[in-house]
A and B are shown apart, each in its own frame.
Chain A
Amino acid sequence: MILKINNLVKRYKDVLAVDNASISIAEGEIYGLLGPNGAGKTTLISTILGLTKYDEGSIEIFGKDLKKNEYEIKKEIGIVPQDLAIYLDLTAYENVEYFGRLYGLRGNLLKERIEEALNFTGLWDRRKDVPKKFSGGMKRRLNIACAVMHHPKLIIMDEPTVGIDPQSRNLILDSVVKLNKMGSTIIYTSHYMEEVEAICSNITIIDHGRVIAKGTKEELKSMISFEERLAIDISSVNFNLVDGLKKVIGVKECSLNGNKLLIISEKNANNLSRIIDVILKMDVEIKGLNIEKPTLEGVFLTLTGRSLRD
């Protein structure tokens, strides 16, 4: 395990910010950390970075106790904070150079890593410009370059795509996957569920400081998925159709809204072909069919009672 958090507790006076949290992250993962605002994600990240002291429990990173080996561990971690953590009055090159020096890089190795990081984020051609002249997406990419130039084993990305255009977002998501393929383990937090769904292999959901669910995407979805939803666009309305469909084995509910049928079946009922047979036998043409699967957003809503963006 590259990160192992055991029964972590952090209190701010009377507020329990992290409540007995335990998380294990294996090497090579892109690990999603989800939770609404104030759930305890930031506190958890701060404790992993050694910026916040914790009251109980333990944190092991790279197999070493964080408290005893903080300095050594920090050398192998990269952080991409939610807000931009770059100097707007230093050039892109100088920004990366500055943080590279703080991570102990010197001489030719430093120059190579600066070039590599700026090429990786597509900013090499703009290396002599100050970020004041950059678009929001370019600043975000520089934010990433500063975090990854020392080849960290563990990269923590705290909402790295907030407030940027779709093109820059795709570039950043691609770079996250590339970094992972290059050997870095990544902890990724985001308000955009589709991002987490697209790139993360394992996910932990936190609320009120507690880990309320964790597992793979499929495991999380199966926790709330007890039924399957089918939406069918039909050519004409036949009132016998609804009654006919309700008689199909496994169908729990059937309703009609204009020319759209909504059918809810028991999970794994395997009755799709039977439903189609019933519709066609009534001389109704099927114009479209959509099987609605459970999403992480649905999982989140079910478990926390809140939308992720609340």
Chain B
Amino acid sequence: MNILYIFYYTILRFIRDRKGFMSMLLLPVVVILVLGTALSSTFKHSDISITPVAYLNLDNGTASNAFNEFIKLEDIEEIISVKTVASYDEGIEMIRNREVAAMIYINENYTQNLKNGGTGDIEIIKSQHSSFGASVVSSVIDSYVNAANAIEASGKLGNFIPQFSRSDSVKKMPINSTGRTPTSMDYYSVTMLVMTIMYGAHYGIDELGKDYFESIGQRLKSAPIKSYEMYVGKTIGIVITLFLQALILVLFTKYVFNVNWGNNLTEVLFICLILSMLSIGLGVMICMVSSSRRKATSLISILVPVFTFVAGGYFPIDNVGGIIEKIKYISPNYLAQRAIFNLVYEAGAQETQFFLLIMVGISLILFITSAVAGRRKLQ
């Protein structure tokens, strides 16, 4: 029963603080409007141009000749434009000068190695400046290697295929991108919603910090209530408050900005609820471990913008490569954004479930760590 009372008065106080409540909503709405309008051209669809690629083949054998034929196919020439170079250094120089997205390199022993039963390597040297182009080249080479491996394997089984034959077994179905990719307003509504929820960590710091380290905490801890009742009642109260703000933001952007939240709004809101738990858990954990509201507030003020940046919250940074590509997975913003985009644009259901599980796991770890740290403070 105490949990319910604590929960009720916590929510009552937050709702009564209209100024604080509204400022939490006003900021993301303004940012969505500004970024959504200013960067709308970034989100317009453009045709994918033919990717230029340098090519150096030092092998004169039959195996590499097959590859020479492959890259001259009409279908391949629609994707990549091959520029033959005379030396390895020339190809590298073209990459440096951003003339090509990658270089395909076949060494002089390629055919001989294959004849000896070894492996023949087709190397791709990728440009850091064109990760998309480099990934296109990789895909083309992968498709060749897969086919070549299939022929090789078939030959070893005795079914040697004497020559490469091309047939139109692929049925082309052009994809209509309308309604399947986010507009700038759609994009920033998701990322700013996620950022707003993450900033809700401040609620956790303020409420639990106040009730633990300040005079009101002395009164509460002197009352005949169990510490878990206080912890649970407060936490649920703050999580629900934050979730209400997320709900208002989703509905506002849906009906005022006409943002596409897909056909799974309930599931989107469920992700918001899980992220609210994670965010509050993060705030409470940092506060309990640092034993200082001020330190915890400063840390969250640094962490949330960093999480938002690496997750592409301020501007999309997919396929940028490098360190950001690796660390984005530790950003809760990235997990939540991907889960929401997957739901809205009906892609990667398994990935969505996986990301949700990770978020629930992180939340549990954060709350358990907070509880342990909180108990240790009582000495």
**Beta-carbon contact of A84 and B215 below 8 Å:** yes
Kindly identify which residue among B215, B222, B224 contacts A104, using a CB–CB cutoff of 8 Å: B224
Chain B residues in 8 Å Cβ range of A50: 222
Kindly identify which residue among A52, A89, A102, A147 contacts B2, using a CB–CB cutoff of 8 Å: A102
Contacts A89-B16, A90-B12 given; does A102 touch B223 at CB 8 Å:
yes
The reply to whether the CB of B9 lies closer than 8 angstroms to some CB of chain A is yes
**Beta-carbon contact of B9 and A99 below 8 Å:** no
B:8-64 near A, CB below 8 Å: 9, 12-13, 16-17
The reply to whether the CB of B357 lies closer than 8 angstroms to some CB of chain A is no
The reply to whether the CB of B216 lies closer than 8 angstroms to some CB of chain A is yes
**Beta-carbon contact of B214 and A49 below 8 Å:** no
Kindly identify which residue among B16, B218, B224, B379 contacts A102, using a CB–CB cutoff of 8 Å: B224
**Beta-carbon contact of A103 and B224 below 8 Å:** yes
Chain A proximity of B213: nearest CB distance (Å): 11
Chain A residues in 8 Å Cβ range of B6: 102
Contacts A85-B215, A89-B17 given; does A94 touch B224 at CB 8 Å:
no
Mask for A135-155, Cβ within 8 A of B = 1, else 0? 000000000001100000000
User: Within the assembled complex, what's the spacing in Å between the Cα atoms of A77 and B218?
Assistant: 12
The reply to whether the CB of B72 lies closer than 8 angstroms to some CB of chain A is no
What is the number of residues of chain B that contact chain A, defined by CB distance less than 8 Å? 21
Kindly identify which residue among B16, B216, B221 contacts A51, using a CB–CB cutoff of 8 Å: B221
User: Within the assembled complex, what's the spacing in Å between the Cα atoms of A49 and B220?
Assistant: 11
The reply to whether the CB of B172 lies closer than 8 angstroms to some CB of chain A is no
> Chain B: which residue is nearest A101 at the CB level?
B5
User: Within the assembled complex, what's the spacing in Å between the Cα atoms of A53 and B222?
Assistant: 13
Mask for B352-379, Cβ within 8 A of A = 1, else 0? 0000000000000000000000000011
**Beta-carbon contact of A85 and B9 below 8 Å:** no
Mask for A274-307, Cβ within 8 A of B = 1, else 0? 0000000000000000000000000000000000
The reply to whether the CB of B156 lies closer than 8 angstroms to some CB of chain A is no
Contacts A85-B215, A102-B2 given; does A90 touch B9 at CB 8 Å:
yes
Kindly identify which residue among A53, A74, A87 contacts B224, using a CB–CB cutoff of 8 Å: A74
> Chain A: which residue is nearest B13 at the CB level?
A89
Chain A proximity of B358: nearest CB distance (Å): 36
**Beta-carbon contact of A79 and B224 below 8 Å:** no
Interface-centre pick from B6, B214, B224 (highest chain A CB count, 10 A): B224
Chain A residues in 8 Å Cβ range of B16: 89-90
Kindly identify which residue among A53, A84, A99, A102 contacts B378, using a CB–CB cutoff of 8 Å: A53
Mask for A49-63, Cβ within 8 A of B = 1, else 0? 111110000000000
Contacts A75-B224, A101-B5, A104-B224 given; does A83 touch B214 at CB 8 Å:
yes
The reply to whether the CB of B326 lies closer than 8 angstroms to some CB of chain A is no
User: Within the assembled complex, what's the spacing in Å between the Cα atoms of A52 and B379?
Assistant: 6
> Chain B: which residue is nearest A89 at the CB level?
B13
User: Within the assembled complex, what's the spacing in Å between the Cα atoms of A101 and B223?
Assistant: 10
User: Within the assembled complex, what's the spacing in Å between the Cα atoms of A87 and B17?
Assistant: 12
The reply to whether the CB of A98 lies closer than 8 angstroms to some CB of chain B is yes
Chain B proximity of A209: nearest CB distance (Å): 16
The reply to whether the CB of A86 lies closer than 8 angstroms to some CB of chain B is yes
Interface CB pairs A-B, < 8 A, 19: A46-B218, A49-B222, A51-B378, A53-B379, A74-B223, A75-B224, A79-B218, A85-B215, A85-B218, A87-B9, A89-B16, A90-B9, A94-B12, A102-B6, A102-B220, A102-B223, A103-B224, A104-B224, A147-B219
CB-CB nearest 5 A-B residue pairs: A83-B215, A85-B219, A74-B224, A81-B215, A85-B215
